[in-house]
Structure 1
């Protein structure tokens, strides 16, 4: 049985894994979770009742949580692009940055999205205000970390960049990265130009009208 990935193309965490798969040209079957594919949803929930995606299926093995999926792919289905360095300390730096983008960039975006999805104007504004406060701190920290680096951890594209790409993509839609963060803005632009992420962005383009905060007419 070939690899199968359950998820949705507009999902940031699905995109994170798609980037890793595209980077290495890893063959897989994408099984979109949507009302139009109830068979995929049923199988996904049977395998992972916690209702989180993406889910990677490799034969009889189910692999969940994006960072674990990407590390699993490197161990079991390696390709030419090594997304976690062989050196333990360098790998630790990459894992830290991966966690930073998930926890301190993507999570605040999800707070704002969750507030908007309630349909309550007050909760929408509260979610946005909290998100903007957290994102501004994250942007400032990243601006100080990225000078001299092509990618998040240095010269090589890694797991950290797989996390950064969708995180910064949607974060900029939620609270625009201002001109006072030129290094971070340039890094986001490099991520958008990376073929693996550009492909993921294009595959999700159809779903932009569903972004609850309103998708800007850019990217």
Structure 2
């Protein structure tokens, strides 16, 4: 039985969970909630910075959410086309995965980290985050014009759903990005994603910038 170590409010845990839920892959969730110190010890020992999620498959340990999804696609495949079979399409999928991790999630994380340290994000930090996210939102808006965004779950959807869910709390997707706004709503309605949203709902009070009364 696969084991996934993480937390229901963690965006990168969501990323792995969405892939597991999309393929209805059996697994045991090991929640890092302070109740089981041995879970923390396992995660800390598995990677350089001891970050989650961590996937355990027998003697195999896989950290980093993108690598976990690659592993699931290879060793525990299902109906969801997590990684395209065509090599060129797979490269494009991995490239867009990095857009959402590096230019959406990591960008908004600067405001979150500042709020954790200081209690709120400074105007300077928030302005910098807004500029980065708005530039990325508009790039994604253009990219969506060539993307067939159906109900399939690929590495792209696994990355996009949690990053857009939280980033929109930090910097709203503007009205001049209607395709992106509609796609975010579509992603949040997908059953594997909505399951993550509901499981995370009890923890919203912990969002450092304050969770909005929506989604």
Q: Normalised by the size of structure 2, how large is the TM-score?
A: 0.95
State how far apart, in whole Å, the 2-side matches of 1:172 and 1:150 are.
22
Please, which moves more after superposition, 176-185 or 41-50? 41-50
Q: CA shift at 1:156, angstroms?
A: 4.2
Q: CA shift at 1:119, angstroms?
A: 1.7
Q: Give matches, 1:4-23, under 5 Å.
A: 4-23=3-22
Partner of 1:24 in structure 2? Answer: 23
1:113 and 1:127 in contact (8 A); partners too: no
1:115 and 1:125 in contact (8 A); partners too: no
Q: CA shift at 1:170, angstroms?
A: 0.3
2:3 and 2:30 in contact (8 A); partners too: yes
Q: CA shift at 1:48, angstroms?
A: 3.3
1:16 and 1:166 in contact (8 A); partners too: yes
Q: Give matches, 1:150-189, under 5 Å.
A: 150-151=148-149, 156-189=152-185
Cα 1:137–1:22 shift into 2, 3 Å: same
Q: CA shift at 1:125, angstroms?
A: 3.0
Please, which moves more after superposition, 124-133 or 21-30? 124-133
CA displacement 1:65-96 (0-9 Å, x = unmatched): 11111010011111111211111111111111
Aligned counterpart in structure 2 of residue 209 of structure 1, from 205, 208, 211: 205
State how far apart, in whole Å, the 2-side matches of 1:190 and 1:150 are.
13
Partner of 2:99 in structure 1? Answer: 100
State the number of aligned residues.
215
> Which runs of no fewer than 5 residues in structure 2 stay unpaired?
none
Cα 1:89–1:148 shift into 2, 3 Å: closer
> Which runs of no fewer than 5 residues in structure 1 stay unpaired?
none
Cα 1:155–1:3 shift into 2, 3 Å: closer
Once superposed, what is the RMSD of the aligned Cα atoms?
A: 1.5
Partner of 1:129 in structure 2? Answer: 127
Partner of 1:81 in structure 2? Answer: 80
State how far apart, in whole Å, the 2-side matches of 1:125 and 1:118 are.
14
Q: CA shift at 1:37, angstroms?
A: 2.4
Q: CA shift at 1:43, angstroms?
A: 2.4
